[in-house]
């Protein structure tokens, strides 16, 4: 019986990158895969015929191709092709005609290609070769598992350098598709846990205890995208319970920090009605990376260096009250079992007696504001320990297990 070939979809602007896409297409076909080429160009003529032409991409966005090009605002046509490419790619995936995706380009090609990739679920191989990969790629990758390869040179013409780069990039997507396995099926409840390097002692201990109790743990690094990805996974119904140990993305959202996960942080589990235990891990500071981005007026605050590139600025008593009220407002809307557990000995590595961020009065103001606003349906537990202490982790895990049993 002949083995069914897997399909790799190429999304790109065949007017400006046609020769380069033909090179990639031929490499992947020679590797034994099917290829579907989607043309996302909009101005010049395509250098070869695509399997899905640009007219179909534009129609998927609800716009006739003749109305895509806007000479006065190029952003308009890019937005149209981003939407159309996303719709086309998602349709290919839903119909079983996409096992992996490959894109390459400059700023426009990267915007369109990564938009299409973000329309696909976690676990589908996604390889983006980009000339802007050395910059901030957060707006492009979002919360998706996109592999970005820095093109180094411009993707313009086939020469000994571009051929070598594109050759191994083609190999990267083929290798990823070849090794991609079916999702593992398990009866263990899947628990989302937030994490951060400074709380590794607590995170690792909780992970071990939860696994020994029969849970499967997926950790999300709370750097903004991590929190958003966790909320998305909860919203998609992938998560059975939430152990939210590190919640500082909320503070960054309120006070302009680097690791902002958006306004919906701490809301999805409550809306879905799944059990959740929340701790105030690291919400006593605002993160700035690099540290020279600390705004004027905050330089005189207590500062803790997490790494040479990350500065943590302590928030004051009034700001802690605001955080407490904000968390209470979010948790009061929860429809499932919900509890918040407070380590009265400190919320972060720098928040211990003798450390730079130690401010027990500000922490107490947070707790008082929380108590004043929190509904009786949300359980509040205080533990006389630091968040990294074993006794706190043990209490938090025991509390979580109780909620999961409910």
User: pLDDT tens across 173-216, in order?
Assistant: 999 999 977 766 678 999 999 999 889 999 999 999 999 999 99
Q: Write the CB contacts of 4 (distance below 8 Å, at least 6 apart in sequence).
A: none
Q: Region 294-319: what's the mean pLDDT?
A: 81
C-alpha span between 382 and 385 (Å, rounded):
9
Q: Are strands 100-105 and 126-130 parallel, antiparallel or unpaired?
A: parallel
**pLDDT of residue 79 exceeding 90:** yes
* pLDDT for the residue 184: 67
pLDDT confidence of 378, banded at 50, 70, 90? very high
* pLDDT for the residue 72: 72
Q: For CATH 3.40.50.12030, list the domain ranges present in the chain.
A: 190-405
pLDDT confidence of 9, banded at 50, 70, 90? very high
pLDDT confidence of 3, banded at 50, 70, 90? low
* pLDDT for the residue 44: 86
Fold of 190-405: Rossmann fold (3.40.50)
* pLDDT for the residue 229: 94
Question: What is the 3-state composition of the chain as percent helix, strand, coil, each rounded to the nearest 5?
Answer: 40, 20, 40
Query: Would you give the DSSP letter of residue 333?
Result: T
Q: Are strands 310-314 and 285-288 parallel, antiparallel or unpaired?
A: antiparallel
User: pLDDT tens across 96-108, in order?
Assistant: 999 999 999 999 9
**pLDDT of residue 23 exceeding 80:** yes
Burial class (CB in 10 A: 0-12, 13-18, 19+), 240: middle
Q: What are phi and psi of 390, to 5 degrees?
A: -60, -40
User: pLDDT tens across 113-170, in order?
Assistant: 999 999 999 999 999 999 999 988 989 999 999 999 999 999 989 999 999 999 999 9
Q: Taking a C-beta distance cutoff of 8 angstroms, is the pair 242, 269 a contact?
A: yes
Percent of the chain with pLDDT over 90: 82
**pLDDT of residue 296 exceeding 90:** no
User: pLDDT tens across 37-67, in order?
Assistant: 999 998 889 999 999 999 999 999 999 998 8
Task: Render 195-218 in DSSP notation, one character per residue.
Answer: E-GGGHHHHHHHHHHHHHTT-EEE
Share the mean pLDDT of the chain: 93
pLDDT confidence of 306, banded at 50, 70, 90? low
User: pLDDT tens across 326-365, in order?
Assistant: 999 999 999 999 999 999 999 999 999 888 899 999 999 9
* pLDDT for the residue 100: 97
Residue 385: other Cβ atoms inside 10 A: 17
Residue that wins the pLDDT comparison between 155 and 289:
155
The upper half-sphere exposure of residue 226, i.e. CA atoms within 13 Å in the direction of its Cβ, equals 19
C-alpha span between 133 and 330 (Å, rounded):
36
**pLDDT of residue 239 exceeding 80:** yes
Superfamily of domain 7-179: Uncharacterised protein family UPF0261, NN domain (3.40.50.12020)
Q: For CATH 3.40.50.12020, list the domain ranges present in the chain.
A: 7-179
Q: What are phi and psi of 167, to 5 degrees?
A: -65, -45
The CA R_g of the chain, rounded to the nearest whole Å, is: 24
HEC assignment per residue over 29-49: HHCCCEEEEEECCCCCCCCCC
């Amino acid at each position: 019986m002949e083995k069914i070939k897997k399909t790799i979809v190429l999304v790109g602007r065949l007017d400006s990158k046609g020769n380069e896409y033909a090179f990639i297409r031929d490499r992947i076909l020679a590797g034994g895969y099917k290829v579907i080429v989607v043309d996302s160009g909009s101005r010049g003529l395509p250098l070869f015929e695509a399997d899905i032409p640009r007219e179909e991409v534009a129609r998927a966005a609800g716009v006739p191709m003749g109305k895509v090009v806007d000479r006065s605002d190029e952003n308009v046509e890019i937005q149209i092709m981003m939407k159309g490419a996303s719709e086309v790619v998602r349709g290919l995936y839903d119909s079983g005609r996409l096992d992996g995706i490959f894109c390459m380009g400059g700023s426009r090609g990267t915007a369109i290609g990564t938009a299409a990739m973000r329309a696909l679920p976690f676990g589908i191989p996604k390889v983006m070769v980009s000339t802007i990969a050395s910059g901030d790629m957060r707006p492009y990758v979002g919360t998706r598992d996109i592999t970005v390869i820095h093109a180094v040179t411009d993707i313009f013409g086939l020469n000994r350098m571009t051929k070598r780069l594109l050759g191994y990039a083609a190999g990267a997507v083929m290798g990823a598709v070849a090794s991609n396995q079916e999702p593992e099926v398990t009866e263990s409840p899947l628990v989302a846990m937030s994490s951060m390097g400074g709380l590794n002692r607590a995170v690792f201990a909780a992970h071990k205890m939860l696994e020994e109790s029969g849970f499967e743990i997926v950790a999300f690094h709370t750097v903004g995208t991590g929190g958003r990805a966790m909320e998305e996974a909860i919203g998609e119904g992938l998560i059975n319970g939430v152990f939210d140990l590190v919640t500082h993305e909320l503070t960054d959202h309120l006070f302009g920090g680097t690791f902002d996960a958006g306004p919906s942080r701490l809301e999805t589990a409550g809306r879905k009605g799944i059990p959740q235990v929340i701790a105030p891990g690291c919400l006593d500071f605002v993160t700035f990376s690099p540290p020279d981005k600390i705004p004027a007026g905050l330089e005189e605050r207590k500062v803790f260096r997490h790494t040479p590139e990350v500065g943590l600025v302590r928030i004051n008593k009034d700001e802690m009250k605001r955080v407490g009220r904000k968390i209470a407002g979010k948790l009061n809307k929860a429809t499932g079992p919900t509890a918040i557990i407070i380590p009265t000995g400190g919320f972060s590595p720098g928040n211990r007696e003798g450390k730079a961020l130690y401010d027990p009065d500000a922490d107490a103001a947070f707790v008082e504001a929380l108590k004043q606003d929190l509904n009786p349906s949300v359980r509040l537990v205080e533990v006389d320990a630091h968040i990294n202490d074993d006794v706190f982790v043990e209490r938090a895990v025991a509390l979580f297990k109780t909620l999961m049993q409910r």
